[in-house]
Structure 1
Amino acid sequence: MSPELEIFRRSPTGKPKSKHPLVFVHGAYTGAWCWNEHFLTWFADRGFETVAFSLRGHGGSGGRELRSLASIDDYVEDLEEVVETLGKKPVLIGHSMGGYVIQKYLERHSAEAAVLMASVPPEGLIASNAMMAMAQPDLFFHMFWLQAIGPHTLLRERLGRAMLSPDIAEDEGMIYFGRLETESQRAITDMMGANPIFLTKDEAPAMLVMGARDDEIIQSELIHHTAKRYGADYALIDDIHHAMMLDQNWEKVAETILEWLQVKLVSQQRSKGNKTAA
């Protein structure tokens, strides 16, 4: 039996822009709270139904006592459960590990569109970890200790600089860091090659793959690689770090997604209308 999930929802303000709800999937070490800070209300105010949930063992969801045993397939099951409550085809938006979960979900399900933000690439974490170990060995070891002991204060400064811009790392970043939690070791193992992505370019929906140009965790080269694999639209955002939905320039990220959605959802709706008319 699946644990009870924490779910945040926002109804669209004014006339809805789309019949497709935006479903946000968080990354490792966090919970739905990372979307609740800015994105849920921002997109709802622009006419979208927005939904974010905490994966089992994260945030306010159940299953915390078994979190270390949770697999990527378990997280996909959580996403399936949330989507089933909507009764509509969603637009899926995932950050980091959440992007990996979305790619696994799309192997067996459809979506109206998908946005991968600083996402773990389809080949998993091996390349990004190797690049980090060579270029930023101090960060590599801090990430190891985050998994081993949780958000200890000794790790805050270096991880803060990887996640957030200096201007907010000492303010909001202090609060955000304290809300991090260890991730399922099984899920991390899955992303290290134990549960690879088999989604193909032909199976993928309309997709935007975006990243932070100076991301030290999921490097820009890997963002470009993921976009190329899926034939997806591609965007790199300047002056922002890995935690793209929380960092100082989060609104630049949101605006990029909004502009893309407006073009893609409208063009897809017109295409469907033309087919119906024919």
Structure 2
Amino acid sequence: MSVTPPVVFIHGLWLHSSSWQPWIDLFQTEGYAPSALGWPGDPDTVEEARHNPESVAGYGIDDVVEHYAALIAKLPAPPILIGHSFGGMIAQKLLGQNLAAAAVAIDAAQIKGVLPLPLSALRATFPVFKNPANKRRSVSLTAEQFRFAFGNAISEEESAALYERWTVPAPGKPLYEAASANFNPHSPAKVDTENGGRGPLLLISGGKDHTVPEVVTRATLKQYRHSEAVTDIIGFPDRGHSLTIDGGWHEVAATVLGWLRQQNLESGR
């Protein structure tokens, strides 16, 4: 009898791991064994994270990858990883290291080798880059900044509600590491895109995403052109960076479940 791979959800910058709860509930209903594991330093709740912003300061991409690799090692089987934004980059790195059965990278942050740098992405990350000292600090978004970076494709009211419910301070270091990736031969943003023996990968893009525009996701797909492993891409033309947490999250989640079935990664029920 085959063992159903666990499912691990990985959040990105400015969202707490608990923002995956609707996905966890859905995947449990579908017979999976899901969990949303936080980054190193992440407090247990949104409220605690806001009251202790420096708990996440200074952590970089390698720190996060090592943190998840250690958590994965305790699981009964290699997991399916589902990551959003920087969580999507982390999922790709772990998949490239053969630590996962499959990965879904939703609006994933730029990996090394991806060249497009749209103006909207620069504006979305300006709250971090406006002060070089932020590389060692944690940074919070204002409601207006969240509206541009995450909630531009939804109503102002919904964007404000999501901001109040889920946003937390985030470390600035990963953004600095990603920004310098193409100038650093040993960049932590480097992913083993040529690994032909890894599990399947699905890239998902939001056509209205300001933070990770669709052109970035398509350029990411090209980085995998030398791998024989399954690498698929699905776009949601009218969605922004909030697509995992806004009112349309279920459509994205259902698409992921359908793709997992296509890869013979159904639940064990």
TM-score normalized by the length of structure 2: 0.78
Would the alpha carbon gap of residues 263 and 175 (structure 1) be closer, same or farther in structure 2, given more than 3 Å must change? closer
Residue 108 (1) aligns with residue 67 (2): no
> Structure 1, residues 113-149: CA drift from partner, whole Å, max 9, x if none?
1100000132278743xx12xx577545456569688
- Please point out which of 218, 221, 227 is paired with 1:227: 221
1: distance between equivalents of 2:125 and 2:78? 38
CA contact (8 A) 1:100 1:121 kept: yes
State the match for 2:151 in structure 1.
Answer: 164
Q: Secondary structure at the match of 1:261?
A: helix
Distance in 1 (alpha carbons) for counterparts of 2:150 and 2:3: 32
The 5 Å alignment of 1:1-278 reads 19-36=4-21, 38-60=22-44, 65-123=54-112, 127-128=116-117, 131-132=118-119, 135=120, 139=124, 141-142=126-127, 144=129, 150-151=139-140, 155-164=142-151, 167-171=154-158, 173-177=160-164, 179-192=166-179, 193=181, 194-201=187-194, 202-231=196-225, 232-265=231-264
Amino acid at match of 1:199: D
Using the alignment, how far apart are the partners of 1:140 and 1:78 within structure 2? 24
User: Whose radius of gyration is greater, 1 or 2?
Assistant: 1
Residue 179 of structure 1 and its aligned partner are, at CA, apart by 4.1
Larger RCO, structure (CA 8 Å, separation 6 or more): 2
1:226/1:125 CA distance change after superposition, 3 Å: closer
Following TM superposition, by how much is the alpha carbon of 1:54 offset from its aligned partner in structure 2, in angstroms?
Answer: 1.1
Give the Cα–Cα distance (whole angstroms) in 1 for the partners of residues 111 and 139 of structure 2. Answer: 26
**Per-residue displacement from partner, 1:94-125 (whole Å, max 9, x unpaired)?**
11101111222234333211100000132278
1:196 CA drift (Å):
3.1
Q: Displacement, 1:86?
A: 1.5
In the other structure, the counterpart of 1:14 is: none
Bigger proportion of residues as helix: 1
Q: Alpha-carbon deviation of 1:211? A: 0.9
Provide the residue aligned with 1:13 in structure 2.
Answer: none
SS at match of 1:170: helix
Aligned partners of 2:3, 2:237: CA distance in 1, in Å? 29
How far off its partner does 1:177 sit?
A: 4.2
Query: Which stretch has the larger CA shift, 42-51 or 57-66?
Result: 57-66
Q: 1:266 to 1:94 in 2, by over 3 A?
A: closer
Aligned residues: 246
- Whole-angstrom CA distance in 2 between matches of 1:136 and 1:87: 38
**Does the 8 Å contact 1:165/1:248 carry over to 2?**
no
Structure 1 pair 117–196 and aligned structure 2 pair: CA distance change class (3 A): same
Closer, same or farther in 2 for the Cα pair 1:83/1:145, shift >3 Å? same
Contact 2:146 2:163 in 1 (8 A): no
What is the alpha-carbon distance in structure 1 between the residues aligned to residue 209 and residue 112 of structure 2?
Answer: 18
Shift of 1:245: 1.1
CA RMSD of aligned residues (A): 3.3
Q: Write the distance in 2 (CA, Å) between the matches of 1:252 and 1:173.
A: 21
Q: Which runs of 5+ in 2 are unaligned?
A: 182-186, 226-230
TM-score by length of 1: 0.75
> Counterparts of 2:244 and 2:25 in 1: how far apart (Å)?
12
* Range 185-194 or range 69-78, more displaced: 185-194
More moved, 180-189 vs 203-212: 180-189
Structure 1 residue ranges without an equivalent (≥5): 1-16, 270-278
Q: For residues 39 and 19 of structure 1, what CA distance do their matches in structure 2 show?
A: 17
- Alpha-carbon separation, structure 2, partners of 1:48 and 1:223: 27
CA positional deviation for 1:161: 4.2
The structural deviation recorded for 1:172 is 6.3
